[in-house]
Each structure stands twice: as structure tokens, then as C-alpha cells.
Amino acid sequence: AAAKDTLYDIVLQGRKERAADLARELLAVKAPLDVVQQDIMPALDEVGRQYEAGKLFLPELLTSAETVQQAFTVIKAKLEESGQGGEGKGPIVLATVEGDIHDIGKNIVKVVLQNYGYEVIDLGKDVSAARVVEAARDSQAPLVGLSALMTTTTPSMEKTITALQAAHLPCKVVVGGAVLTETFARQMGADFYARDAMAAVRAAKEVIG
């Protein structure tokens, strides 16, 4: 008999049509964020490794990302079911920085923050420093969250933090993304480094309550 497919295999193989079903099966036995951490992230890490090694190419990278998005639709619905209620704390401005189109991680952070009752103003991906400053000013957000996934876009992150500081806005900044570290985040002037979505929630609790 054929071995049973896992979400990990499906993401690696880019078999989009199976993703939602497998995510549902996993959600029957574990928490939504555990599916992200234990199944999806290891698979994407492997996809990233194979891409870097020239064993996978951009079309496959894209198909794997789309497969994750299918799974995430189901995970998001599950997270929303278990919402803590109390909408409207914040708001928190969220963006992937200029030059960077990776938004899977940011979108996870968004859903989890909303789940904890925070209002999120999601500016999307590839967002300029000026646009982040404008949104933070208009919304009087106490917290701005920035995501960057590439060594080539951490300068945009730093530029955005500098622009927020120069605008003298009363907001704190939390940053995340696989290329960052606590030390690097602090050097860039961020108030908080979030390794994962729950760390972003802890920062929000500290700043907003």
C-alpha cells in the first residue's frame, strides 16, 4: 500500500489540491500554531534549502508557497473559531518591508494578533517606509510590526524604523522574520524582536495590554 501523505510531503511536492484536507486532519489532533511550527515551517525550510542548493526552482518554490496558502486558509478558520474576543485593542500597523514580498509569516502574525483581540491595520507586502509612517501617524497606532525575510531587505526594515523615529510618533516597533536575531533587531532600533507569532502577542500585551 502507498505510504500516507503528510502535509510536509505535500508542501514539498507542491500538491495544492491535497493541502486543505491534510491540514484538517492535523487540526483534529493538534493546535493550529503547532501545525504551523511542526509541519509547515519545516517543510518550507526544506523547500528553501533545496532552492538554495539549485535542486528546486522558482516555479516549484511558488507552488509550495501556494500549497501552504491552501493549508493556511483552513488553519486561519480554526484560529478564528477560538478567538479570545474583545476586538479593537490597538491598532497595530503591520507590514512586510519594501522590496520584500514574503508575507506568509506576516499573515500568520496578523491572524494570531487578531485572535488576541487586537485590531490590525495590514499594509500588505513591499511597503515603503513613508507608507508605514503615514499609517502609524493617521491611526495613532501604539505598535508597528515589521516583517523581513531576506538579508537584502533588512536595510529597508532599518530605514523604516529610522523614519518612524524621525517622525516622533508615539509608537513602539516589533520586528520579525527568519533572517533576524534579537541582537540585530536591537541594533536596528526595534523595541521588540519576535521570533514567532506568540512573541508578537507578548510585545502587544506589553505595549497595549
Q: Closest separation between CB of residue 2 and ligand B1M, Å?
A: 27
The CA–CA distances, whole Å, from 20 to 17, 37, 60, 122, 197 equal 7, 17, 19, 24, 22
Provide the minimum distance between the beta carbon of 94 and ligand B1M in the complex, in angstroms, as a whole number.
6
Q: Which is nearer to ligand B1M, 3 or 129 (CB)?
A: 129
Q: 189, 165 in Cβ contact below 8 A?
A: yes
Q: For the chain, how big is the Rg over CA atoms in Å? A: 18
Closest approach, Cβ 30 to ligand B1M, in A, equals 15
Please say which residue, 4 or 105, places its beta carbon nearer to ligand B1M: 105
Which residues bind to ligand B1M, rule: CB under 6 A? 41, 44-45, 47-48, 51-52, 58, 61-62, 65, 94, 99-106, 108-109, 145-147, 149-152, 174-179, 194, 196-197, 200
Sequence-distant contacts of 7-12: CB under 8 A, at least 24 apart: 7/35, 7/39, 7/40, 7/43, 7/71, 8/39, 8/42, 8/43, 8/46, 10/67, 11/40, 11/43, 11/44, 11/47, 11/64, 11/67, 11/68, 11/71, 12/43, 12/46, 12/47, 12/64
Question: CA-to-CA distance for 174 and 190, rounded, in angstroms?
Answer: 6
Give 3 or 71: the residue with its C-beta nearer to ligand B1M.
71
Helix, strand, or coil (residue 96) = strand
Q: Say how far apart CA 98 and CA 100 lie, in whole Å.
A: 5
Nearer Cβ to ligand B1M, position 20 or 61? 61
Nearer to ligand B1M, 65 or 163 (CB): 65
| CB of 8 vs ligand B1M, minimal distance in Å | 13
Are 172 and 207 contacting, i.e. CB atoms less than 8 angstroms apart?
A: yes
Shortest Å distance, C-beta 81 to ligand B1M:
19
Q: Which is nearer to ligand B1M, 84 or 152 (CB)?
A: 152
* Minimum distance from residue 80 beta carbon to ligand B1M (Å): 17
